[in-house]
Structure 1
Amino acid sequence: MTRPSQLVLDAVGTLARLGLAAIWLISGALKISDSGQTYIAVKAYDVLPSGLVSPVATALPLIELALGLLLLFGLGIRIVSVLSILMFAVLIAAIAQSWVRGLSIDCGCFGGGGQVANGQTQYPQEIARDTGFALLAVWLVARPWTWLALDGWLGRGRGNSGETGDDYRVIAEGNQ
């Protein structure tokens, strides 16, 4: 039988998964809809050799959309969450280095991006926001069991009963 605390944790995990999926899907869709602006945003960070700016600007929204879709459907939640943490770490590092170097750019995290007027940057808010998003992914790494996830239906969730996290751990340990 499922305990009330288990239901609350499952609900929190589901909201974290769907929230993170929405973040990646919105970010990726906005970037892919204006690939020229995404190129400008990536170039504005001034860290990549010119030959890598275009491939990164092309790949970034595709990676974000893939992460978003996998999370939306609940497929590979723990692995996708680890990848999300890595992506957020790279994005936070990119924003931080721009701040330290005195660049005046918009991060382009949700479309747009590129040069902005001096004093118009929002580096602390962008870093705090991305840190918060990364914490959602940390939650899902620690506790990937959520409702309406393909992982559970494919036997990679908590086990067939879907009642306890302990079932998942037993299955995971048995597959090693």
Structure 2
Amino acid sequence: METGQSARTTTGWLWISTAARLGLAAVWLVAGGLKVGDLAESGRAVNAYQIFPYEVAKVIGAAQPFLEIVLGLLLLAGLAVRLSAGISAGLLVIFIAGIVSAWVRGLQIDCGCFSTGGQLSAGQSPQYGWDVARDVGFLLLAGFLLWRPRTRYAIDNVLMGEE
């Protein structure tokens, strides 16, 4: 039997996890939604990193928005939260590594995280430090959900008989 303090602490963690889950869901839904309308442009944004051959970059760019939307929907629904958080963390590590790689190599590109991305126009400067910091923040949300995947208003609770 939980004491009053223990029950309040558990309830607090549930609400914090719920906020993290919904925040990360919003990130993926917005990011994927902004790219899904122009898959060719999304492919060009991946190609701007100059990591993959153009044909591979096109495929990654075309698949990425759908993966982001699926992750967002899973997190929004609270279905497979720990798995979705793990995949999110993996993707975010890849995104951070890509941004750092572009930064180190002196590329002048928009990361394409919440836009079509690609080469920057003359006079524009990349915002790599901000991009990395933002993605590290998102990575912390994913890490928190890996640690505490139980949340309020989640399908997982129905399937696992919790809450």
Same fold by TM (over 0.5)? yes
Is 1:76 paired with 2:108?
A: no
Deviations 1:79-129 (A, max 9, x none): 110100000000000000000000000000012211114661000100000
* Corresponding residue number in structure 2 for 1:127: 132
Tell me the CA shift for residue 161 of structure 1.
5.0
Structure 1 segments (4+ residues) deviating >6 Å: none
* Corresponding residue number in structure 1 for 2:61: 57
Structure 1 pair 88/161, CA: closer, same or farther in 2 (3 Å)?
A: closer
> What are the within-5 Å matches in structure 2 for residues 1-16 of structure 1?
3-16=7-20
RMSD over aligned Cα atoms: 1.3
* Corresponding residue number in structure 1 for 2:151: 146
> How far apart in 1 are the matches of 2:162 and 2:76?
22
> What are the within-5 Å matches in structure 2 for residues 1-176 of structure 1?
3-116=7-120, 117=122, 120-155=125-160, 160-162=161-163
Structure 1: any 5+ residue segments left out of the alignment? 163-176
Structure 2: any 5+ residue segments left out of the alignment? none
> How far apart in 2 are the matches of 1:61 and 1:48?
18
Question: Normalising to structure 2: TM-score of the pair?
Answer: 0.92
> How far apart in 2 are the matches of 1:161 and 1:14?
14
Deviations 1:34-85 (A, max 9, x none): 2232122111101001220111011100110110011010111001101000
Identity %: 42
Aligned residues: 158
Would the aligned equivalents of 1:18 and 1:71 in 2 still touch at CA under 8 Å? yes
Would the aligned equivalents of 1:31 and 1:38 in 2 still touch at CA under 8 Å? yes
Would the aligned equivalents of 2:47 and 2:53 in 1 still touch at CA under 8 Å? no
> How far apart in 1 are the matches of 2:11 and 2:84?
23
Question: Normalising to structure 1: TM-score of the pair?
Answer: 0.86
User: What one-letter code is carried by the residue in structure 2 that aligns with 1:7?
Assistant: T
SS at match of 2:88: helix
Would the aligned equivalents of 2:18 and 2:152 in 1 still touch at CA under 8 Å? yes
